[in-house]
């Protein structure tokens, strides 16, 4: 029997990401796990309104979004706990500039370069609706068809109810391959 746990936000896990934006000639970074797909051509990045990086994203209209691996977690936690208004986070990650002028983390196996199409405000949050301008994938993380191989990318997941990171698991089958199986 299921038990009601009130109106808890429990639609998890979500991928852990690092959002990057330029602060003058230096990058700044923040940890974001409230991220989603809202169409085949749009993604959503939800940030608490007071975040320092929000202003930079609004000014430039651009940001990078990198999937996080376990090896990046120490720097990721710093990026998520130190405000860009109070400290310089530019040296947390080695990076190169993407074609669209956003910082692309070298250690990240997958990074999206995005442009802001719209901003949707809710109490205390700004959700950036973004178009994807470029997708960068480490070559060793592409399958034989040139598509991202998430078993090689190994993105870290986040779940909010218990505030913890999770590993991605094994492939259990192709999407829609179970519809004709019976027990």
68 beta partners: none
Global pTM reads: 0.94
Question: What residues contact residue 43 under an 8 Å CB cut-off, 6+ apart?
Answer: 35, 36, 37, 65, 112, 114, 129, 130, 132
pLDDT for the residue 183 = 57
pLDDT in tens, the chain (183 residues): 999 999 988 999 999 999 999 999 999 999 999 999 999 989 999 999 999 999 999 999 999 999 999 999 999 999 999 999 999 999 999 999 999 999 999 999 999 999 999 999 999 999 999 999 999 999 999 999 999 999 999 999 999 989 999 999 899 999 999 988 765
Neighbours of 134 (CB within 10 A): 14
Considering the domain 14-166 in this protein, what is its CATH number? 2.30.110.10
pLDDT for the residue 169 = 86
Token pair of 48 as six digits: 């608490």
């Amino acid at each position: 029997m299921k038990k009601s746990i009130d109106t808890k936000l429990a639609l998890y896990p979500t991928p852990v990401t690092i959002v990057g934006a330029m602060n003058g000639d230096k990058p700044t970074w923040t940890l974001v796990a409230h991220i989603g797909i809202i169409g085949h051509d749009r993604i959503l990045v939800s940030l608490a309104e007071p975040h320092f990086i929000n202003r930079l994203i609004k000014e430039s209209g651009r940001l990078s979004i990198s999937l996080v691996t376990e090896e990046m977690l120490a720097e990721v936690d710093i990026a998520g706990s130190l405000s860009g208004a109070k400290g310089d986070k530019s040296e947390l990650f080695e990076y190169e500039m993407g074609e669209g002028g956003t910082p692309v983390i070298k250690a990240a196996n997958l990074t999206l370069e995005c442009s802001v199409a719209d901003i949707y405000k809710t109490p205390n949050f700004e959700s950036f609706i973004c178009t994807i301008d470029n997708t960068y994938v480490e070559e060793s993380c592409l399958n034989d068809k040139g598509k991202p191989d998430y078993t090689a990318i190994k993105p870290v997941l986040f779940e909010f109810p218990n505030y913890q990171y999770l590993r991605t698991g094994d492939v259990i089958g192709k999407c829609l391959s179970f519809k004709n199986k019976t027990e």
